[in-house]
Chains A and B, each alone.
Chain A
Amino acid sequence: MSDVVYRVRDLVVRRGERRLLDGVDLDVPAGEMLAIVGPNGAGKSTLVGVLAGDVHPDHGRVELEGREVAQWRPRELAQRRSVLLQSHAVSFGYTVDEIIAMGRSPWPADSQRDAAVIDHAVRRADVAHLRDRSYLVLSGGERARVSLARVLAQDTPILLLDEPTAALDLRHQEDVLRCAAEDARAGRTVIVVLHDLSLAAAYASRIVMLDRGRVAAQGRPRDVLTPERVRTVYGIDIALLTGPDGSLLVVPDRRPTPERNR
């Protein structure tokens, strides 16, 4: 068993009376690609926020490499984990190049290494043709990819991605997750929030399904994504198909109820 990167025990996060997270236990070993799934409001983004160090637990422990996340200095943390948020808003009209270069700021300046890391990140996020543009004129999907490039340029062993595929077209969705999966195989730890269960099944080595702040299930995609569980958690009937590459496809079962029982 490889080293545990994140160890979460009995995590509770409250907002007023509501419990956004309610007794979450989670171990994330190094080199894993973990997908967090669940319906809207299940607590996925809050969990990412806690792992990132933005949201402080009201109860329980969250350890990164054996030390509580709150004990890390911001700069050290920035050299260990990078975070891609759902919102990619930028206040002023920086060029794409400037935005991506900001990803290098946690590291001591080293122009050669910086340039190499940035070039690599730019290629992987497929934004080379945007480099001289102003960020403000980009489309939503382009902004998402530029933000991803910035996060990749941070070059950290842990990546936290909150719905990285939300604004992306089909090809770039696949690109981003393939890129994340490569990183995981290379030894990085990737924790990714996804809505598309088929994408989660295809790329994640393990899935955690949240339901109203609790862990409904965790394990290999095939064990977590059962029709019964999805019906309980999401309130929708699904069918499981097998894709041409043998991966699991999760699709809504749209047939009227009588036909299903034939």
Chain B
Amino acid sequence: MKRLAVVATLIGVLLLGLVVSARVGQLPVSTTDVLGATLARLGIASDWMPSDEVIAMTLEQIRFPRVALSALVGAALAVGGAVMQAIFGNPLAEPGVVGVSSGAALGAAAAIVSGISVAGGASVAVAAFVSGFVATVLVYVTARANGRTEVVTLLLTGIAVNAFAGAGIALVMFMGDTASREQIVFWQLGSLNGARWQEVAVVAVIVVPTTLIALALARRYDLLSLGERSASHLGVRVEALRIGSIALVALLTAAAVAFAGIISFVGLVVPHSMRMLLGPSHRGLLVASVIAGAALLVWCDLLARTAVAGADLPIGMITALIGGPFFFVLIRQARSRAGGWG
């Protein structure tokens, strides 16, 4: 019952965020215009269709893709964080913190600078996935010992991976031209500015199926919380689950990073809050994280582009402002439990 109430509230917050985001901006738009244009986009004719061409164009070309991308990226980050925490058995594991995001950004940056376009617009996403996957495997292999993850080792690994990826990105920037440099700078800050439908489509193609797969694995993630051996005694193929989940995390992170850059702490804050609200059972946790992650990023992006008139703040900065203090609290909690999570 509580789960239903929480999910319903989250959906409400998300929908409200979607509508408000579409309305607010340099060109104010009425709610009916937003609804009319949405219906039109879905192929339903209505009386609310905006009469003004400029408004229709603004919604269609600028606001809708941006709002859609922020919702998708938020969902991807939150689910990626939840899956990562499930396989590490540790609530501090998050793609941004442990360096998977910057690893993926390194691949994306390299792809942009080198100008490779293997699969059209998707080449950036492919490169982000490959390097994100390598980073995830690296962190996993380093931070896990005897079936458990020490918090200290995990965070130290994160420092190492982040430092290396940072150096790699610096090198790539050094080699690139001015335009690609600027693009990379904005990645590292994270931004949803200039989102296009093409990008929304690429991200959606990755995020929707991976999220569904993660949901299908929810029960197994619960069993994994008992420890790898106990999970295998209950019939879970732990090795396959781990590798598959690492691929999921890399895909989700790459999808988020490829076009929106490094947006940290969403994968930390969202699953943790949902766990406090609903308990750790992964089915409910993942469903709630999808919606809450999307809602959080939609609202954060709204803040990013309206907080300072005429400026588009980097969204990564805003999520870090929220996530940083949150992270402190989590570390303090971990410390009070003698460094263990068990």
Instruction: Mark A residues whose CB is within 8 Å of B.
Output: 52-54, 74-75, 77-79, 81-83, 85, 87, 89-95, 98-99, 102-103, 105-106, 136, 150, 154
Cβ of B223 within 8 Å of any chain A Cβ, yes or no, is yes
B residues contacting the other copy or chain, number (CB 8 A): 25
Are A91 and B225 CB-contacts (below 8 A) given A74-B236, A78-B235, A105-B235?
Answer: yes
The contact of A78 among B224, B229, B233, B280, by CB within 8 Å, is B233
- Chain A residues with CB under 8 Å of B275's CB are 92-93
**When the two chains form their complex, are residues B342 and A103 in contact, meaning their CB atoms are under 8 A apart?**
no
**When the two chains form their complex, are residues B233 and A52 in contact, meaning their CB atoms are under 8 A apart?**
yes
Q: How far is the CA of A93 from the CA of B229 in the complex (A)?
A: 19
Instruction: Mark B residues whose CB is within 8 Å of A.
Output: 89-91, 148, 219, 222-227, 229-230, 232-237, 275, 279-281, 341-342
Are A83 and B225 CB-contacts (below 8 A) given A90-B342, A91-B89?
Answer: no
Q: How far is the CA of A90 from the CA of B279 in the complex (A)?
A: 14
**When the two chains form their complex, are residues A89 and B227 in contact, meaning their CB atoms are under 8 A apart?**
yes
- Chain A residues with CB under 8 Å of B223's CB are 102, 105
A-B contact pairs, 19 of them (CB 8 A): A74-B235, A74-B236, A74-B237, A85-B229, A89-B148, A89-B342, A90-B226, A91-B89, A91-B90, A92-B89, A92-B275, A93-B279, A94-B279, A94-B280, A102-B223, A105-B223, A106-B234, A150-B226, A154-B234
> Which residue on chain B has the smallest CB distance to residue A98?
B281
The distance from the CB of A104 to the nearest CB of chain B, in whole angstroms, is 9
- Chain B residues with CB under 8 Å of A78's CB are 233-235
Are A92 and B225 CB-contacts (below 8 A) given A98-B281, A105-B219?
Answer: yes
**When the two chains form their complex, are residues B341 and A91 in contact, meaning their CB atoms are under 8 A apart?**
yes
- Chain A residues with CB under 8 Å of B224's CB are 91
**When the two chains form their complex, are residues B230 and A91 in contact, meaning their CB atoms are under 8 A apart?**
no
**When the two chains form their complex, are residues A103 and B234 in contact, meaning their CB atoms are under 8 A apart?**
yes
The distance from the CB of A147 to the nearest CB of chain B, in whole angstroms, is 8
Q: How far is the CA of A105 from the CA of B260 in the complex (A)?
A: 39
Query: Which one of B89, B226, B279 has the highest number of Cβ atoms from chain A below 10 Å of its Cβ?
Result: B226
Q: How far is the CA of A82 from the CA of B219 in the complex (A)?
A: 18
- Chain B residues with CB under 8 Å of A53's CB are 232
**When the two chains form their complex, are residues B235 and A75 in contact, meaning their CB atoms are under 8 A apart?**
yes
